[in-house]
């Protein structure tokens, strides 16, 4: 059975869906990996390294002939033309934002798996692309914000005097936010953070951060995610955040509500109340933005000398590290779909991890969240 790894074609995407290590493992379980020439370039993996691991190097069309295709991002229009009936496509397909494309997968007769929909259970941890990538992104966001910050993070006691530590505030303490907190702590900053889930409050404190804000009643859903706040809760949160922001030097926002636009937490009026030289980094800029005025991939300087940085595919900028983890997540997931004895495909739609990610099968949209009636 052939497993194809195309070069990623979306703008700015430098990751690739396999690594030499996972290629070796695919070979070991009896699959034939076919990698597009140049696929690893952005992630610092030369073709030779894929070939040495046992992959066949091929051109675009040949790679898309494979029984299983592994992707980072969803296919571009040109690649949609390569899909063929019965094929399996696995990637971060971003289905909530691309419902028409989900229908196109069904029309093409493929089984498409969206890795972002994986239930966040203990069993799924090794396959969880959101966690592996958000963890790296949280680190990178803090590092990028720090690079723009015109002062220093740690306290420095020198013969010439003492430099005070920077105050870092993290909004949203999920996987990315917790890594941003840990990174800021390692740099010696004074760290505060907010979230709406009770578990997040404990996690902030366990990393040595101070919790700021309030936990609305029932803000964590059964799936472990946050629900959208009511207008009253939002107002209360904004009042607390506005006051806190006045003293902050670096702010990293990561708040997301799955399947929706990112919640707006910091308004232009709040930014106007901040100190000159402060840095705001919006990790949610691509999904609507937690900060008013944030633009994906841009740095905007306000009249009062505050810089607002909008993230754009942050992990792609640390593609070699992100690829290692992403590729491993897919390897672990793919093993669910292959019978260890016969080495044949076996898609058990009763398995909660398969059911949770499978968008389309045999010409129909099968995922509950995307079925035509939903």
Q: Which residues are catalytic?
A: 120, 125, 128, 131, 225
Q: Provide the β-strand partners of residue 88.
A: 68, 111
* 165/177 with CB nearer ligand NAD: 177
Tokens 């990174």 locate to 183
Element (H, E) at 163: strand 161-163
Residue nearest ligand NAD, Cβ-based: 174
Q: Provide the β-strand partners of residue 194.
A: 171
The DSSP code for 275 is P
* 155/199 with CB nearer ligand NAD: 199
Binding site for ligand NAD (CB under 6 A): 120-122, 125, 128, 130-131, 134, 171-177, 194-197, 199-200, 224-226, 229, 254-258, 263, 265
DSSP, collapsed to helix, strand or coil, labels residue 110 as coil
d(CA 28, CA 145): 42
DSSP alpha helix (H) spans, 207-261 = 231-245
* 39/270 with CB nearer ligand NAD: 270
CB of 33 to ligand NAD, least distance (A): 28
* 23/170 with CB nearer ligand NAD: 170
CB of 57 to ligand NAD, least distance (A): 35
Return phi, psi of residue 364, to 5°. -125, 155
d(CA 209, CA 197): 15
DSSP, collapsed to helix, strand or coil, labels residue 3 as strand
CB of 292 to ligand NAD, least distance (A): 14
């Amino acid at each position: 059975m052939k497993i194809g790894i195309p070069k990623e074609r979306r703008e700015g995407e430098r990751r690739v869906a396999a690594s030499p290590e996972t290629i070796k493992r695919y070979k070991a379980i009896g699959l034939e990996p076919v990698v597009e020439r140049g696929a690893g370039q952005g992630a610092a993996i030369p073709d030779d390294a894929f070939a040495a691991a046992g992959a066949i190097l091929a051109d675009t069309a040949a790679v898309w002939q494979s029984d299983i295709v592994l992707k980072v991002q969803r296919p571009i229009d040109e690649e949609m033309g390569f899909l063929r009936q019965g094929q399996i496509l696995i990637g971060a397909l971003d289905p909530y934002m691309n419902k028409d494309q989900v229908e196109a997968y069904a029309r093409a007769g493929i089984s498409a798996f969206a890795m972002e929909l994986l239930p966040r259970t203990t069993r799924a941890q090794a396959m969880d692309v959101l966690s592996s990538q958000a963890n790296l992104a949280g680190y990178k966001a803090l590092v990028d914000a720090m690079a723009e910050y015109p002062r220093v993070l740690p306290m420095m006691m020198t013969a010439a005097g003492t430099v005070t530590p920077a105050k870092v505030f993290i909004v949203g303490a999920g996987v990315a936010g917790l890594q941003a907190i840990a990174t800021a702590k390692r740099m010696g900053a004074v760290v505060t953070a907010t979230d709406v889930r009770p578990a997040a409050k404990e996690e902030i404190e366990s990393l040595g951060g101070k919790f700021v804000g309030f936990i609305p009643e029932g803000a964590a859903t059964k799936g472990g995610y946050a629900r959208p706040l009511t207008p009253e809760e939002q107002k209360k949160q904004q009042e607390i955040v506005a006051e806190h922001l006045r003293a902050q030097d670096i702010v990293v926002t990561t708040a997301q509500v799955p399947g929706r636009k990112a919640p707006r937490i910091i308004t232009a009026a709040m930014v106007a109340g901040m100190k000159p030289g402060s840095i705001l980094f919006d990790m949610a800029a691509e999904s609507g933005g937690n900060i008013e005025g944030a633009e994906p991939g841009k740095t905007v300087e306000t009249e009062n000398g505050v810089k607002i940085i909008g993230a754009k595919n942050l992990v792609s900028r640390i593609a070699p590290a992100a690829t290692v983890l992403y590729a491993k997540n897919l390897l672990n997931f793919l093993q669910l779909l292959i019978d260890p004895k016969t080495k044949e495909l076996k898609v058990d739609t009763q398995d909660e991890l398969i059911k949770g990610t499978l968008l389309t099968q045999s010409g129909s949209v099968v995922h509950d969240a995307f079925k035509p009636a939903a």
